Chain A
Amino acid sequence: MLKVENLVKKYGDKYAVNDISFTVKDREVVGFLGPNGAGKTTVMNIITGYLSYTSGACTVDVYEILENPTEAKKLIGYLPDEPPLYPEMTVNEYLNFVYELKGCTLNRDKHIMEVCEVTKIVDMRQRLIGNLSKGYKQRVGIAQALIGNPKIIILDEPTVGLDPKQIIEIRNLVRSLGRDHTVILSTHVLSEVQAVCDRIIIMNKGRIVADERTDRLTELMSGTRRLSVRIKGNKKEIQEMLTGIENVTYVEASRDVTQPDGINFRIESKDGADVREAIFFACAERKLPITAMETVTSTLEDVFMNVTRENAKKKVKTK
């Protein structure tokens, strides 16, 4: 659906995007993740034809964005980092304008109504855009991207500046869009991509530092398995017992004052070995009740910090 090859964008001598390649399949939801200034927005601006690239290629379906811009742009709906709205227009006028601008051929009133329903702005259609709240402006921005039913929808930080309820609604919307559209979204909120995306591309300093399926990425990073266990009893005794269990490499105790029903232990095991049963039987033998036990998967935060840090280290080495 979308193919980016060796894309480079230079501003003077500075690389905003430095030799990145990736492909996005049909109906895939891809998240672009990275710190501010990583080049996410630049990549999106290039894909949508707003900016030109220095070298490389970017193909939308079968159309190269610089060679066949009009055809390529027809396939894309874009919400830039700031929604492109005219404050002096009403929502309805604006969506009608976008409909004409994109040269749509769908049934106009029906299509606009559908888009309004999907983005939940039906009641706002007669309101002036300038008078809408930030959350509604963002939705009108998304509605604009959906007009014409484009195959690819690109959303640049769609949840920035919204309240938690709105964020959840937008996420649900993105997820439902993924059913019959290809969606690319950028964010620096990690939980967002984890919640919404099939695949994550992590960018840092203009390069792709990771490109994996969401579930695989977290799995990959958790080479060691971590457990959090709460056990009632004597701290020293339990600690000795736990360290004695096979494959356990690390035990750390902490008494959480808010949890009177035991002492928390953080346990790591070798090569992801499952030690839960061993812990259970060891405790049962000594009559030490386990009040809680859970597996701690490393979060995307860990992954993200890891990848971006590694990248920085590599750079130092090559210097």
Chain B
Amino acid sequence: MTAIYKRELRSFFVTPIGYVFIAMFLAVSSFAFCMCTLLAGMEASVSSYFTFELVIMALMTPMLTMKSMAEERKQKTEQLLLTAPITLPGFVVAKFLASYTMFAVTFLVTCINFPIMFAYLSDMNLYRYNAVTALGGCIALLLIGAVFISVGLLISSLTENQMVAAIGTLTALAALLAAAIANQYIGFAPLRAFLSWLSVYSRFSNFAKGYFDIAALIYYASFAAVCIFITVRIYEKRRWS
């Protein structure tokens, strides 16, 4: 399992994908950070930065997951991994952790922005409020990253084609986020309740308000776990049919 994890992480850096992801993610996040907090004459808002960050993540994490399963299948290296003495869940989890490490490390680098900004805050009350919001938001985003990557992994395992995996993941993540927007226009109450329960974004809005929502964190973690479980089942099923 560690062998797969290490190889997968390495593969990000022998191909341009790792560098491109890190560079783009840092650049776009920093730009969003400046726009939301440092621009003169505008309200400095940590929560609107987090909303931007959520969209940036949805756009960029498919880059990490698109090849993880699809490429193995296309290159037939999958056969090596699946006939090696490791378990199927071990294989999928190693893949997940490799992509997740890429995301999490890059994301944590963007968080350096917060201490620097807070160092210049003089109002103690404002500091406290913003610091708590920032901490809660970062934790939530780290977990939402796990959700996005597990969705990407699941879709990547369905195809041999990286492009199909990337576009499929983008669509799925866009749908996950758009569920919240679509929600406002749905008249049918039970469906509306279901969508807001499912929506990754609606649950995140609590964090943006500075409210630490443990239920949401559990929801994100379970969402990722279910996606990983389904990916394992997909592989299991392929062996049988």
Contacts and interface: CB of A to CB of B under 8 A. Distances in A.
Interface in A36-79: 45, 48-52, 69-71, 73-74, 76, 78
B119 interface: no
Q: Is the interface of B mostly helix, strand, loop or mixed?
A: helix
A59 B240 CA distance: 18
Interface string B1-36: 011101100010011000000000000000000000
B82 A49 contact: yes
Contacts of A144: 80
Contacts of B80: 78, 80, 84, 98, 101, 144
A11 B84 contact: no
A69 B86 CA distance: 9
Contacts of B76: 80, 82-84
B4 A101 contact: yes
Given A84-B78, A97-B3, A102 B15 contact: no
Nearest to A73: B85
Interface residues of B, number: 24
A203 B78 CA distance: 26
Nearest to A85: B77
Interface size range on A against B: 20 to 34
A86 interface: yes
A103 interface: yes
A256 interface: no
A92 to B, nearest CB: 13
A70 B85 contact: yes
Contacts of B6: 97, 100
Contacts of A180: none
Interface string A96-126: 0110111100000000000000000000000
Contacts of A215: none
A302 interface: no
A88 interface: yes
A80 B76 CA distance: 9
B125 interface: no
Residue among B76, B79, B80, B81 with most chain A CB within 10 A: B80
30 contacts: A11-B241, A48-B83, A49-B83, A50-B79, A50-B83, A69-B87, A70-B86, A73-B83, A74-B85, A78-B83, A82-B76, A84-B76, A84-B77, A84-B79, A85-B75, A85-B77, A86-B7, A86-B11, A87-B75, A88-B15, A89-B7, A89-B14, A97-B6, A97-B7, A100-B2, A101-B3, A101-B84, A102-B85, A103-B86, A144-B80
Interface of A: 11, 45, 48-52, 69-71, 73-74, 76, 78, 80, 82-89, 97-98, 100-103, 144
Interface of B: 2-4, 6-7, 11, 14-15, 75-87, 239-241
